């Protein structure tokens, strides 16, 4: 009795603190806010949701059964199905779901002010993203760790399975292109960043050779060696930057850098995994975990002040970083960190094969996503602690604010966000860069934000090192996603091509590897190329498309989950996935509608294409722009077709799910539940002793 009273008081205190923190940041107008309030609001929201909502879902909706043997126990084969300690599974799961997405999205969405993004990250995660990850993990665990695509086919029918496959392949292509663009914008005319990122390739190869030939399988030794070499590469980049001869070797405009990224992507896809991909992944995982912990510590220690207003005038759709109103674009731009469909692929991939007991599903599925959402909150803090004028100067593309520094600062200052050329020059000099203007994409402004937080916590004189460390850290795992994504895309394509000519389906046949890797790299390379030559800085086009495709994958996962819940007789509780699904259908449909029909040339693909065609016909374009205009016009039409295709795919699968559910509720035959039968666990006793 006494214990329950103290626990009640504890949760009341958490609720009050959370409400006060959220209320404080939501109602504040014009006063600078201490970033610690964001941390408090986020921490309390996740704690309450985890303690009550997730526990309720686990106990009452999913009916988690701790006496049931998991696939890891029943199918234990010593390599992919292995019952594993839950903290280890949590680590693997988090390392797999946390990519660069939650760092970039919130940084871009900060153009609306700190409030919309922060609220969406918190609410979207606890009601949407965490639920999606958790229920997908649960359903896959009950189905021998089957993938989302297989579950869609088994539970809804062939249409669902094909839709999931196509959505996955397309999202991968758009994702890689946009991430490639983020890296290119960070390396553009920056010898320090370019040389450091280039050095990560030989470092990874060295680590790969070490782990394969010198000391086989000594992962920790190899990783430690790699991390030390990467840190040396950051410092060495500074030396190269000050060396007049070497400097020129790494000083390139965007287009040649894009070509290098494309060539690198192709090479990484056809090289054996142990040489580049696997060692790079070890390094990026340690970098990621280390940096996230360091950033959390620095924010708590330094308590930086958020200078961005709660809302900016750009909620009307005129924002410089990407065009479009607060609704629906804030919810599209922040996908990872609030709800990310890609996670459903991990939750129905490796993770369910490692779970020792179903009781770990809440911690790994719900808790893992809550932690990812917290990373997004930290990215939001790092973006909004910058002076808003500086934030917009770094992130606004030249096509919007003007090519010359003087015009750019005048435009940005006229919006009410004062910034001066001297301020920007001083900042660039501190960071060891020639300029920080028009570095759209989120990585550089995040790096400036992180460098200033780290600098104030761990020493100002190292600020240029911190900046390039942050750039290197983002680039390392963006390139990991690029390598791994190209490879997965290649396998999926080989699988599809195998239906036409079986030989092409052999994943180790070299001509098939070259052909399918070439097709995948050409697909994302095309979008990367277009993004680089786009006068409005590419991100404006590509990031919303990526957000739409990722949300649509989430909608597919939630459709599968809702279908299974209704078929299992849980109609009354199906709102737990039905509610986020409805919201995703609303935002992705509205966003696609705006992208197709808006008259604003920075929002509507077709409006932009028509505008460019008429300018081209009238001969008002300068010659260098007229030369690329036909490509841009074609691409805008392609983007419009892609948006239409995505949203049709979404409606197809949602309507198909509703059809199955209606049939089930009317007592007509539907594909049966594919859950494996109950088998009692033998592990429990051994597990408790450990």
Q: How far is the CB of 566 from other proteins (least distance, A)?
A: 27
Work out which of 10, 87, 239, 651 binds other proteins, going by CB under 8 A.
Answer: 87
The mark string for 153-192 relative to other proteins (x by CB under 8 A, - otherwise) is ---------------x------x---x-------------
As measured in angstroms, the least distance from the Cβ of 162 to other proteins is 17
In the DSSP assignment, the letter for residue 460 is: G
In the list 64, 69, 211, 448, the residue contacting other proteins (rule: CB under 8 A) is 211
**Complex with other proteins: residue 97 or 566, whichever CB lies closer:** 97
- Judged by CB under 8 A, the residue of 143, 153, 325, 343 near other proteins is 343
377 burial type by CB count under 10 A (0-12 exposed, 13-18 middle, 19+ buried): buried
Cβ nearer to other proteins, comparing 188 with 487: 487
Closest to other proteins by CB, 279 vs 320, is 279
**Which part of the chain contacts other proteins (CB under 8 A), choosing from 121-129, 302-310, 487-495, 636-644?**
487-495
Assigned token pair, 321: 């970083």
Q: Bridge partners of 680?
A: 68
190 CB-near residues (< 8 Å, 6+ apart): 251, 433, 434
Q: Which stretch binds other proteins (CB under 8 A): 154-162, 180-188, 217-225, 255-263?
A: 217-225
Alpha carbon distance 210, 198 (integer Å): 19
Q: Which of residues 542-571 bind other proteins (CB under 8 A)?
A: 546, 550
CA dist 232 and 227 (Å) reads 9
Token duo for residue 177: 């292109």
Q: Which two tokens stand for residue 342?
A: 């890609």
Query: Are 340 and 334 a contacting pair, CB within 8 Å?
Result: no
Q: Does 84 bind other proteins (CB under 8 A)?
A: yes
Torsion of CA 484, 486, 490, 491, to 10 degrees: 20
SS3 557: helix
Which residue lies nearer to other proteins by CB, 246 or 289? Answer: 289
Other C-beta atoms lying within 10 Å of the C-beta of residue 242: 11
Q: Which is nearer to other proteins, 86 or 142 (CB)?
A: 86
Using rule CB under 8 A, residue 484 touches other proteins: yes
> Binding residues for other proteins, how many (CB under 8 A)?
53
Is the CB of 553 or the CB of 657 nearer to other proteins?
A: 553
Nearest-angstrom CA–CA distance, 283 and 195: 17
Beta carbon nearer to other proteins, 68 or 86: 86
**CA-based nearest residue to 264, from 590, 78, 517:** 517
**Using CB under 8 A, which of 65, 80, 387, 675 touches other proteins?**
80
- Give the start-end residues of each E strand in 129-278: none
Counting contacts by CB under 8 A, is residue 88 touching other proteins? yes
Please give the Cα distance from 126 to 120 (Å, whole number): 10
**Is the peptide bond prior to 198 cis by the omega test (within 30 degrees of 0)?**
no
Q: Does 345 bind other proteins (CB under 8 A)?
A: yes
Alpha helices in 368-509 (DSSP H): 368-384, 388-395, 398-401, 405-414, 421-431, 443-458, 463-500
Residues 378-397 that bind other proteins (CB under 8 A): none
507 binds other proteins (CB under 8 A): yes
Contacting range for other proteins; rule: CB under 8 A; set: 8-16, 33-41, 274-282, 446-454: 274-282
Q: Does 509 contact other proteins by CB under 8 A? A: no
Choice from 184, 277, 447, 554 touching other proteins (CB under 8 A): 277
Residues 6 or more apart from 227 whose CB is under 8 A from it? 283, 286, 287
- Contact pick of 481, 551, 559, 562 for other proteins (by CB under 8 A): 481
Q: Which stretch binds other proteins (CB under 8 A): 61-69, 321-329, 344-352, 564-572?
A: 344-352
3-state secondary structure of 77: coil
Among 5, 30, 78, 618, binds other proteins (CB under 8 A): 78
Query: Considering the complex, what minimum distance in angstroms separates the CB of residue 445 from other proteins?
Result: 19
Identified binder of other proteins from the candidate list 79, 572, 668, 689, rule CB under 8 A: 79
* Residue 281 found at the interface with other proteins (CB under 8 A): yes
Q: HSE on the CB side for 409, CA within 13 Å?
A: 12
Taking the complex as a whole, the smallest distance from the CB of residue 230 to other proteins amounts, in Å, to 16
Smallest distance from other proteins to CB 198, Å: 21
Q: Three-state DSSP class for 261?
A: helix
CA neighbor of 229 nearest in space, from 262, 206, 257:
206
Q: Are 431 and 442 in contact (CB under 8 A)?
A: no
490 contacts other proteins (rule: CB under 8 A)? no
Distance of CA 34 to the CA centre of its chain: 26
- Footprint of other proteins on 321-340 (CB under 8 A): 336, 340
CA distance 346 to 352: 9
Listed in sequence order, the DSSP H helices in 242-367 are: 244-249, 254-270, 277-302, 326-333, 342-347, 360-361
According to the binding rule CB under 8 A, does residue 287 interact with other proteins? no
**Considering the rule CB under 8 A, would residue 620 count as an interface residue with other proteins?**
no
Token reading at 386: 């910058």
Q: Which residues bind other proteins (CB under 8 A)?
A: 76, 78-80, 82, 84-85, 87-88, 91-92, 96-101, 168, 175, 179, 211-213, 216-220, 223, 273-274, 277-278, 281-282, 336, 340, 342-343, 345-346, 349-350, 480-481, 484-485, 487-488, 491, 507, 546, 550
């Amino acid at each position: 009795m006494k214990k329950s009273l103290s626990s009640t008081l504890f949760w009341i205190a958490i609720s009050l603190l959370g409400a006060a923190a959220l209320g404080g940041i939501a109602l504040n107008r014009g006063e600078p806010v201490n970033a610690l309030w964001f941390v408090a609001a986020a921490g309390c929201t996740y704690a309450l949701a985890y303690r009550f909502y997730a526990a309720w879902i686990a106990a009452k909706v999913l009916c988690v059964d701790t006496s049931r043997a998991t696939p890891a126990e029943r199918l234990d084969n010593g390599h992919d199905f292995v019952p594993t300690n839950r903290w280890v599974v949590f680590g693997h799961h988090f390392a797999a779901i946390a990519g660069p997405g939650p760092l970039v999205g919130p940084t871009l969405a900060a153009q609306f002010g700190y409030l919309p993004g922060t609220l969406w990250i918190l609410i979207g995660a606890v009601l949407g993203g965490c639920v999606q990850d958790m229920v997908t993990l649960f359903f896959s665990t009950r189905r021998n760790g089957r993938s989302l695509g297989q579950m869609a086919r088994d539970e809804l029918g062939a249409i669902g399975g094909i839709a999931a496959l196509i959505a996955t392949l397309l999202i991968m292509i758009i994702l890689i292109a946009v991430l490639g663009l983020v890296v290119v914008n960070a390396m553009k005319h920056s010898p320090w960043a370019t040389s450091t990122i280039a050095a990560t390739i030989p470092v990874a190869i060295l680590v790969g050779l070490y782990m394969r030939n010198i000391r086989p399988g000594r992962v920790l030794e190899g990783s430690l060696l790699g991390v030390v070499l990467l840190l040396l590469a950051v410092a060495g980049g500074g030396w190269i930057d000050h060396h007049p001869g070497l400097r020129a070797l790494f000083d390139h405009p965007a287009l040649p850098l894009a070509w290098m990224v494309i060539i690198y992507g192709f090479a990484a896809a056809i090289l054996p995994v142990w040489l580049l991909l696997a060692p790079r992944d070890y390094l990026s995982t340690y970098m990621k975990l280390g940096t996230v912990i360091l950033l959390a510590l620095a924010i708590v220690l330094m308590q930086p002040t958020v200078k961005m207003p709660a809302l900016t005038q750009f909620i009307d759709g005129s924002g410089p970083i990407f065009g479009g109103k607060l609704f629906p674009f804030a919810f599209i731009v922040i996908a990872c960190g609030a709800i990310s469909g890609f996670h459903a692929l991990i939750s129905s991939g490796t993770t369910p094969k490692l779970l020792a007991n179903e009781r770990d599903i809440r911690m790994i599925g719900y808790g893992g996503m809550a932690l990812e959402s917290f990373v997004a909150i930290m990215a939001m803090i790092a973006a909004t602690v910058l002076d808003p004028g500086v934030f917009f100067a770094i992130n606004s593309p030249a096509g919007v604010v003007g090519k010359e520094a003087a015009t750019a600062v005048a435009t940005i200052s006229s919006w009410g966000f004062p910034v001066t050329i001297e301020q920007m020059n001083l900042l660039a000099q501190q960071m060891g860069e020639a300029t920080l203007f028009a570095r759209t994409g989120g990585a550089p402004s995040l790096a400036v934000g992180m460098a200033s937080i780290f600098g104030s916590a761990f020493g100002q004189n190292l600020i240029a090192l911190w900046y390039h460390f942050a750039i290197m850290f983002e680039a390392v795992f963006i390139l990991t996603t690029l390598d791994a994504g190209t490879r997965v895309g290649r396998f999926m394509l080989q699988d599809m091509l195998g239906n036409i000519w079986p030989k092409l389906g052999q994943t180790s046949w070299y001509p098939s590897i070259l052909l399918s890797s070439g097709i995948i790299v050409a697909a994302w390379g095309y979008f990367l190329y277009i993004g680089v030559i786009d006068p409005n800085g590419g991100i404006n086009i590509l990031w919303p498309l990526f957000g739409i495709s990722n949300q649509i994958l989430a909608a597919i996962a939630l459709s599968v989950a809702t279908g299974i819940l209704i078929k299992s007789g849980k109609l009354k509780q199906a709102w737990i996935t039905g509610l986020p699904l409805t919201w995703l259908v609303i935002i992705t449909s509205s966003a696609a509608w705006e992208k197709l029909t808006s008259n604003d040339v920075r929002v509507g693909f077709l409006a932009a294409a028509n505008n460019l065609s008429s300018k081209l016909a009238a001969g008002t374009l300068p010659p260098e722009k007229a030369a690329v205009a036909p490509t841009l016009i074609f691409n805008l039409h392609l983007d419009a077709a892609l948006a239409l295709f995505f949203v049709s795919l979404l409606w197809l699968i949602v309507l198909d799910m509703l059809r199955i559910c209606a049939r089930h509720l009317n007592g007509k035959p539907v594909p049966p539940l594919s859950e494996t039968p109950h088998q009692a666990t033998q592990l429990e006793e051994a597990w408790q002793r450990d």
